[in-house]
Amino acid sequence: MGINVQGSVVGSVSGGCVETAVIDAAQQALELGTAHLVDFGELTDESVWEVGLSCGGRIGVWIEPDPYESDAWVECTDWVDQDEPCALIQDYGGQRYWAWNADRPCPPELPAEVWIQCAEAVVARRSRGFGDGYFILALPRKERLIIVGAVHIAIPLVAMAKAIGVEAIVVDPRPVLADPSRFATTPDQMIAVWPHDALSYLSPNESDYAVVLTHDPKIDDAALKILLKSPVRYIGALGSRTTQEKRRKVLAELGFSEEEIGRIHGPVGLPIGARSPEEIAVSIIAQIVQVRNADL
């Protein structure tokens, strides 16, 4: 959560029950130039007028003015600009910082377990505290949703992907459909070439999700052949159960294993009875969220 001296706020640290107190503490920290930990506990009948968590539990919020001016943070921003996964480690007590990435050995002054936790935090895409004195800010690769087919479903799907912090890339070789002006929310990229060329350029990785929507085997199956050999986290394919069976048979004849073909979510989306393009987009993005959070 970021707060500046003018009182502008981005992000949040709770469902809303402690935000005002955190903003006040941050404003004070900016004035005094000192960092400190604010602890909020569960509200009781006796503490109903105090700030706390009505849903139970506890939350500790580290308040720090201008936290990211260290050399370690500069290193991390360079890696982030290159879309390289990394993490920033902060020592509360000594106010020291370290930059982590997979190729760097653990510094001798840090517990080895902290270094291991960095790798796990980046894979899980979740920042975390470690012990009593360290905080790990995970900075994973950006997440992308590669949508093959600039069809009607893609229009709300782009907006929903961006709403959950995922870049939306639309691939379609048909110029009449690959027109950004058709989209209420502009895709991050619109690539009007065949899937083979687009996916070669995009190099899908383990932080990506992909869905094929054209109903045209020349386009969808061409994309699936590449996606099934990639490490993408999610592959969805539009089509009825009959269409899916035909597709699986074709892919098996091409030499794909049962395990590889089993990666395809088809019919695509969670089974919520979706009918309209907007409802189908909801079911797809919900399934992506389910996959995204499966290991948390």
At 26 the three-state DSSP class reads: helix
Q: Give the CA-trace dihedral at 99, 102, 107, 108, to 10 degrees.
A: 150
Report in angstroms the alpha-carbon separations of 178 from 44, 181, 215, 239.
Answer: 56, 9, 16, 21
pTM score of the predicted model: 0.82
Same domain, 218 and 153: yes
Same domain, 120 and 171: no
Last residue of a domain, one of 30, 63, 96: 63
Domain encompassing residue 85: 71-139
Using 50 as the pLDDT threshold, list the residues of the chain that sit under it: 43-50
Same domain, 251 and 151: yes
pLDDT of res. 46: 44
Give the domain CATH number at 283: 3.40.50.720
CA 287 from chain center: how many Å? 14
pLDDT of res. 44: 43
pLDDT of res. 133: 83
